Chains A and B, each alone.
Chain A
């Protein structure tokens, strides 16, 4: 099965088609998703997260919801970079 960070990067590339200021994914896992240094606004971010959630569920045949209460209460947001999000999703899948 496809690696989680690969799925995330693919979804960003797809989403870039709709964005005026494109997200630069050349930093790979260190690509900033959201927050300081990021280029997308919160609505685009929500949309991208949902695309990623769906792509992961399709690939792994699961029904995870990425934005659960743990994500919202973690001190270091898992939504900061591609790497942190991939790590976070892996943990969700293992539960």
Chain B
């Protein structure tokens, strides 16, 4: 498969990229800074860009179309959070969060679908979070940007169905990456207690869900958000 993954420099995106690379797939990745591991794989190509920079993103998709002749899957993993009471959150922060999470996801869905429709096959997986159903205080703008992705996922699933493209989302519980480093341990433990299964999520949990969505046999699964950990 030819798989495009956003936010591959570190964290979950890196783990997903390494998984599919080891599996022999062709992976195209992007992030604002070049990953230190990009040279390790001959089946990996990196684009250094911000996912909300339309001009650069259009150029990247132009290259993908020319050099790879198609795209089978898009994994919209790039995301940022900011944990802060809304009364203390600058609008600039809110704009950044929505640019990366929501606008970036929209832009990549749109451009990927343009390529995928040619082969009447495509798999798009977006990233939502447990912070949406948990209505976490201190994460108002992050959760709102991700709630918008739930809506996008459901609507785009309908718009792209005619082209043989499915659009789904995975919603991990807390996974120990830089994204949640700032959350105090005591608060984290309380959050884990609210899940059906009281442990942190792992990269493998997320990869398992993504693999399910990507399977050829999953062509009847679309517009769904899969919450992990019994959230």
Contacts and interface: CB of A to CB of B under 8 A. Distances in A.
Contact of B117 (A50, A53, A57, A63): A50
Contacts of B114: 50, 53-54
Given A47-B117, A50-B114, A50-B117, A57 B62 contact: yes
Contacts, number: 14
Given A50-B114, A50-B117, A54-B114, A43 B58 contact: no
A47 B59 CA distance: 20
Nearest to A65: B58
A63 B162 contact: no
B36 interface: no
Interface string B32-49: 000000000000000000
Nearest to A67: B110
Contacts of B162: 43
A11 to B, nearest CB: 13
Contacts of A50: 114, 117
Nearest to A43: B162
Contacts of B62: 57, 63
A43 B117 CA distance: 12
A26 B163 CA distance: 29
Interface string A50-93: 10011001000001010000000000000000000000000000
B92 interface: no
**Which 7 residue pairs are nearest across A and B when measured between Cβ atoms?**
A63-B58, A43-B162, A50-B114, A63-B62, A63-B59, A57-B62, A47-B117
A54 B64 CA distance: 13
B178 interface: no
Contacts of A54: 65, 114
B185 interface: no
A53 B61 CA distance: 13
14 contacts: A43-B162, A47-B117, A47-B163, A50-B114, A50-B117, A53-B114, A54-B65, A54-B114, A57-B62, A63-B55, A63-B58, A63-B59, A63-B62, A65-B58
